[in-house]
Amino acid sequence: MIEVTTETLQSLAVEGPRSGAIEAILTGRMFSPLNRPPDPTPRFFISNTPICTPGNLTAVSATVKAGKSAFIGAMIAAVVTDDPEAVDTFGIRARNPHGHALLHLDTEQCAFDHWQLVTRALARAQCDAPPDWLLSYCLTGLDIREARSAIDSLIEKAHADFHGIFAVLIDGVADLVVDVNDSAESNIFTAHLHQQAIDFDCSVVTVIHTNPGTQKTRGHLGSQLERKSETNLRLEKADEITVVWADKNRRAPILKAHGPRFTWSVEAGMHVSTDATPGKGGRPKAFHDHELCELLPPEGLAAKDWLAVAREELGAKETAFHEARRRLQAAELVAKSAITGRWEPVRRRP
């Protein structure tokens, strides 16, 4: 663990590898058209937009009580569910076919709230028990040195136990530094997180608050995370509806007008997706479940093709489509073929 002192910073500035060592390091880092790195496999998507790739940071920011922990729970659910098309994960998609470790670290919430977050994530995923590779820890109450040491140890152990790490989710990254406004400490810690993502070939997702009344993340730590992250996801809440969007990305942006939306549901006992727009309410266009069912030909359609037809014929948004599809499935009016993977209308015997 690096202790941030004047002597440390001076040594970082003046000390470095000897000339022969740095030449060897640079040899492997020089561009060559014949040495293309392998294409990164995204760990998380929102709809079809990659938001996390191995070796990179992703930052999630929002004001207090805007739904950050619910969003992290949806990320967990997207990884652990066995039926991604049947569950509501706010448009987040992820697959972990090799069973690599998914590490979730909560530095903000008490033990009960941490337990409830993970329990809701499993319920959202329709998962009765967590897979062995889901490792979630409540680090609230540890001092900064203990928490950072614990995280480093957990990453190393998870990598060894599960032959790789899928992603590391840190809910409350600001609790891991002494002063979010200390540029030296923030730069060193952000560089350390980035190095962990590179060394362990995983995505590191950090959650941080914004300053009240602004979209600016907290302190120099927030600014440095924004600069170094491949994706900066923003959660904006109004009229009890949270919108997820991103405009500071290395890849495609997620426009606020098209970003996922979620709100608290008393009936479900958790946040759920919604097509409503803050300040407007309602859905862009209403349709009945039976209309969606009637779009299916006898031979069935893949989910993405069915959605495309529903958009064209009914003006359906993705969230409303999946909500209606789940109702039709529960009513045994449609079923997913175990052979073709297509959604087919259920044929009733006369």
E-strand ranges in 53-158 read 56-62, 92-93, 101-106, 134-138
Does the pLDDT value for residue 29 go beyond 60?
yes
Model confidence pLDDT, tens digit, residues 130-150: 999 999 999 999 999 999 999
Does the pLDDT value for residue 213 go beyond 80?
no
**Distance, CA of 137 to CA of 150 (rounded, Å):** 10
Per DSSP, the three-state class of 24 is helix
Model confidence pLDDT, tens digit, residues 48-73: 899 999 999 999 998 888 899 999 99
Does the pLDDT value for residue 12 go beyond 60?
no
Q: Mean pLDDT throughout 1-10?
A: 48
**Distance, CA of 71 to CA of 350 (rounded, Å):** 45
Model confidence pLDDT, tens digit, residues 88-110: 999 999 999 999 999 999 999 99
Q: Which comes out higher in pLDDT, residue 347 or 74?
A: 74
Per DSSP, the three-state class of 68 is helix
- Give residue 15's pLDDT: 55
H or E element: which one contains 154? helix 144-162
- Give residue 283's pLDDT: 43
Residue 34: band (very low, low, confident or very high) from pLDDT cuts 50, 70, 90:
confident
Write down the number of H helices and E strands in the chain: 10, 14
- Work out the mean pLDDT of the chain and round it to a whole number: 88
Q: What percent of the chain has pLDDT over 90?
A: 56
Does the pLDDT value for residue 156 go beyond 90?
yes
> Where are the domains positioned within the chain?
44-273, 289-345
Sign of torsion, CA 144 149 152 155? negative
Does the pLDDT value for residue 325 go beyond 80?
yes
- Give residue 16's pLDDT: 56
| Tokens 């529960």 -> residue | 330
**Distance, CA of 80 to CA of 115 (rounded, Å):** 16
Specify whether domain 44-273 bears CATH 3.40.50.720.
no
Does the pLDDT value for residue 294 go beyond 80?
yes
- Cα–Cα nearest to 208, from 185, 186, 184: 186
H or E element: which one contains 238? strand 229-238
- Cα–Cα nearest to 40, from 171, 169, 167, 176: 167
Residue 311: band (very low, low, confident or very high) from pLDDT cuts 50, 70, 90:
confident
Q: Mean pLDDT throughout 312-336?
A: 87
Does the pLDDT value for residue 281 go beyond 80?
no
